[in-house]
Amino acid sequence: DGIFACGNVLHVHDLVDWVSEESEAAAYAASEYIKNKRIQTAKIPLRIGNLVRYGLPTVLEPGKPAVISLRVIAPAENTTLIVRAGDEVIYKKKHKKIFPSEMQRVEIGKIPETAQQVELFFE
């Protein structure tokens, strides 16, 4: 509690715009934390799977939208990124090529309230 990290100290970004966006979110969360307004909510762990080196953030809030940043372990062609909450696929996108040198960002509309974990993997 009380530690907020963003930008390249957290992970290397490809675009400064993403650093700025992440910084604004961290600043808002830190501000709310200092004012004791931050309400503790349930946290859903993000589990990474096939071809994914890491995914951030490592925990998600149920009922809220999420932006997940990730990098892959190895190059691949004709693969599909899937984000699943339990048995429900909440995001799916085909990729012709993926590379470890390129950060991927996934915008999820809303994390299901009933999710016990969220899984992120390539198929």
| Per-residue pLDDT at 25 | 77
| Per-residue pLDDT at 36 | 80
> Do you know the residue count of the chain?
123
Sign of CA dihedral 42, 48, 49, 50: positive
- The CA distance from 123 to 118, in Å, is 16
Half-sphere exposure of 42 (CA within 13 A, CB side): 11
How would you write the pLDDT of the chain (123 residues) with one tens digit per residue? 777 877 777 777 776 666 777 778 778 878 888 888 666 667 899 999 999 999 988 889 899 899 999 999 999 999 999 999 989 999 999 999 999 989 999 999 899 999 999 999 999
Are 115 and 91 spatial neighbours (Cβ–Cβ below 8 Å)? no
